[in-house]
Amino acid sequence: MSSTVLVINSGSSSIKYQLVDPASGESLASGLVERIGESEGHVKHRAGSETTELHDPVPDHANGMRTVLGLFEKVGPVLADANIVAVGHRVVQGGEYYDGPVLVDDEVVGVIDRLSPVAPLHNPPNLTGIRVARELLPDVPHVAVFDTAFFRNLPAPAATYALNREVAERYKVRRYGAHGTSHQYVSARAAELVGGDSANLRQIVLHLGNGASASAVVGAHAVDTSMGLTPLEGLVMGTRTGDIDPAVVFHLARNAGMSIDEIDDLLNKRSGMKGLTGHNDLRQVHRLAESGDEAATLAVEVYAHRLRKYIGAYAAVMGGLDVLSFTAGVGENDTIVRARAVAGLEFLGVEIDEARNEARSKEARFISPDGARVAVLVVPTNEELAIARQAVSLL
Ligand code: ADP
């Protein structure tokens, strides 16, 4: 039987997992544990057409992982028969250390831990997942796949903030990026789809989920990306501001009496589409806009305006543009956002075909007209498969 990889994405109060066949790309089982540490937990395990749900409390990550392993045992597929060759862990921040996947050992665990100050919301729970999984599955290699790895070798002018050099160096302040696994996967799929020699292909990938980021990719290398020291910078997101004048922070601290933690919470969790409209889900925002809500109409324009700015900027960074790809929840599904984002960009050779943009499909596809100067694509992302393949590539 073919080999499989168990992919784990451990968050602060959740564990997402998927058992993947890296060769065929087939997902053999997937699921999630939510509300870890709360009075009622939620576990959902999908195997084939069967879905199992539990609502018992899940006190901690170790308990959650044990429940998941129990479900594999009880509902299947039985892991002992699944020929697992690796456990792949999603880790958000690999700092300056990793530009690719790495076999987890105690030293790697130490580095991920030391990087926690630049990813306080993500690295600690990622690490908890790694610790628990290593304990429960000690006989398989564990591989860490970093969200930042694809951007580790960004050209210095793109990675460097114009911040006092000593301060930047001492506190490791630079652009690390995020969503790298998705940007790498989607840009590689897009190059395949477009065909021909991809060595100098100039691509922009727009990963638009609840978190959102843009990247500029030449050949197989990222040359710029919109997320920075943390995933707060760049595009307008579900609950994050994206780019904002840093002086807003001083202004609010001085004049609104807000603490740093309150401003952190405001910019990360109470802004973006949610802050503008009350909803982070674009589907609800569009519904409001259709019903005549002016704030929602403006919010969609703010979202699209930011996208257009980044497309223009990255085309300039690369000296032109060959491929523009949309991916993730919004990018794959939202016809309105896609149309607004590229409106007026005909001067760059960017156009979309209305019928192609409206057509619904789960497949990677062109939405630009035949013969257009820039290939505009929708490419469903698959971070789990990308992590599984990277894990196997290392072994
Ligand atoms: P995450 O960043 O949490 O992984 P996803 O990539 O799954 O998120 O994207 C989730 C977001 O995708 C939702 O918040 C919603 O805004 C958007 N979305 C999902 N389906 C649609 C749809 N059919 N139309 C518009 N937006 C959608």
Which whole number is the average pLDDT over 132-140? 94
* pLDDT single digits (tens) 371-389: 999 999 999 999 999 999 9
Q: Is 329 in the pocket of ligand 1 (CB under 6 A)?
A: yes
d(CA 326, CA 206): 5
Helical pair 180-194 and 383-394, crossing angle rounded to 10 deg: 90
What distance in angstroms lies between residue 283's CA and the mean position of ligand 1's atoms? 8
319-335 confidence digits (pLDDT tens): 999 999 999 999 999 99
* Sheet containing 221-225, strands listed edge to edge, beginning at the edge strand earlier in sequence: 221-225, 212-218, 202-208, 323-327, 375-378, 365-366
pLDDT digits (tens, 9 = 90+) for 24-73: 999 999 999 999 999 999 999 999 899 999 999 999 999 999 999 999 99
Q: Is 299 helix (H, G, I), strand (E, B) or coil?
A: helix
Is 322 an annotated catalytic residue? Answer: no
The rounded Å distance from CA 244 to ligand 1 centre is 23
Query: What is the Cα gyration radius of the chain?
Result: 21
| pLDDT for the residue 321 | 98
Over the stretch 337-349, which tens digit does the pLDDT of each residue have?
A: 999 999 999 999 9
Ligand 1: which of 122, 208, 282 to mutate, judged by most atoms within 8 Å of the beta carbon?
282
Average per-residue pLDDT for the chain? 96
Closest approach atom of ligand 1 to CA 336: 25
For the whole model, what pTM was predicted?
0.95
Residue owning the nearest CA to atom 14 of ligand 1: 281
Q: Contact at 8 Å (CB) between 177 and 150?
A: yes
Contact 308, 341 (CB under 8 A): yes
* Banded pLDDT at 1 (limits 50, 70, 90): low
The residues with which 127 forms a beta bridge, in sequence order, are none
